[in-house]
Amino acid sequence: MQTEEQLRDFILNGQLYYIPHVSLDCAIFGYHEQQLKLLLIKHKAIKDWCLPGGYIKRTETLVQAANRNVKERTGIDNLFLQQFKTFGDPDRAKTSQFDEDKWFETVGIRIDKTNWLIDQTISVGFYAITDFSRTEPQSDVLAVQCAWFDIDSLPKLDFDHDEMVKEALHTMRVQLYHYPIGYNLLPEKFTLSEIHALYETLLGKKLDISNFPKKLIALGLLKKLDEKRSIGAHRSPHLYMFDKEKYDEALKEGLVLS
C-alpha cells in the first residue's frame, strides 16, 4: 500500500479483489552471525507492534500472497517460507488497541460496520527466514515503522501475535530437523563451525558439534571443498558449500535430518 489513493480503494472496494474474512501474518526471522531477529511493523493507528501481514488476492495461492507480503517488507523475493498454523480464535482481535482518530488522520475515511475490514477474520500464519543484514525493512502509509527486533527482547505485540510468534518459533525449530535451512543465511563458502552456529542460534540451544554437520554431509547436502580458510596459527578449517540440487530436493521432500 504505497499511495493514499491505493489505500482508499483497498478500504472501500478491497472485498472485490481480496478474500474477505481471511488474512495472513508473517513471522519473518532474520539471522546474521549468531543473532536471531524478528521483523515487526508499527501501524500508525495501533498502539502495539505487529507482525507484518495482509490480505489474500482472489487470484493468488496462499504462498504467493505470503511471498508478496514478505517481499514488500524485506525487498527479497522467494525466501524460505512455510505455513505454520491458522489462527481463528473469535477473541483474537479483542485486546487490540485501535485508535479511530489516528486511523482517520492517516486515511481520511471513517469505516462503518458494513465495511469488509470490520468483520471477523481468521489469519494464516507463515514464517520466513532471511539474512537480516541483506534486507531494507520497508514501511508504508499505514505501517509507519518496520524494524528488526532481537528474538529475546521482543515488545508485547497486538492481536494474537505473541502466540503466533511462539508457534512460528516452535514450528521453525521442529522443521529444522526435517528441512535443510541455511542457504542464503551463510556466505557461499563456510566452515562447519559457521553452519553449526547457525543451527544452534536458530534452535536456541547447544547441538553436538561432532555429529550434527556429519549428517548434512552424509545426506549429500554439504560438499567439502579443496579450500581452507586461514583464521590464525594452526587454524585453517576446511570450507564447505551446499550442493544446490540436493538441497532443493531435500527442501521439497522434507528430509529428516535428526
Report the residue number, 205 or 234, with the smaller CB distance to its own copies: 205
Q: At what angle do helices 161-175 and 192-203 cross, to 10 degrees?
A: 140
Asked if 26 and 127 touch (Cβ cutoff 8 Å), the reply is yes
Phi, psi of 147 (to 5 degrees): -155, 160
Q: Measured from the CB of residue 124, what is the shortest distance to its own copies in angstroms?
A: 5
Report the residue number, 128 or 186, with the smaller CB distance to its own copies: 128
What nine digits make up the cell of 154?
521482543
Q: Measured from the CB of residue 205, what is the shortest distance to its own copies in angstroms?
A: 12
The DSSP bridge partners found for residue 81 are 128
List residues near its own copies by CB under 8 A: 19-22, 56, 58-62, 65, 83, 85-90, 120, 122, 124, 170, 174, 177-178, 254, 256, 258
Report the residue number, 62 or 154, with the smaller CB distance to its own copies: 62
Report the residue number, 90 or 232, with the smaller CB distance to its own copies: 90
Q: Measured from the CB of residue 52, what is the shortest distance to its own copies in angstroms?
A: 18
DSSP-derived secondary structure for 78-146: S-EEEEEEEE--TTTTTT--B-HHHHHHHHS----TTSTTTS--EEEEEEEEEEGGG------SSEEEE
Q: Measured from the CB of residue 200, what is the shortest distance to its own copies in angstroms?
A: 16
Q: Measured from the CB of residue 58, what is the shortest distance to its own copies in angstroms?
A: 6
- Round to whole Å and give the CA distance between 74 and 33: 18
Q: Which residues are CB-contacts of 195 (< 8 A; sequence separation ≥ 6)? A: 182, 186, 213, 216, 222, 240
Q: Measured from the CB of residue 65, what is the shortest distance to its own copies in angstroms?
A: 8
Report the residue number, 97 or 258, with the smaller CB distance to its own copies: 258
Report the residue number, 16 or 144, with the smaller CB distance to its own copies: 16
Asked if 97 and 103 touch (Cβ cutoff 8 Å), the reply is no
Phi, psi of 210 (to 5 degrees): -75, -25
Question: For residue 99, which of 36, 39, 46 has the smallest C-alpha distance?
Answer: 46
Report the residue number, 30 or 54, with the smaller CB distance to its own copies: 54
Q: Measured from the CB of residue 99, what is the shortest distance to its own copies in angstroms?
A: 26
Amino acid code (one letter) for 106: T
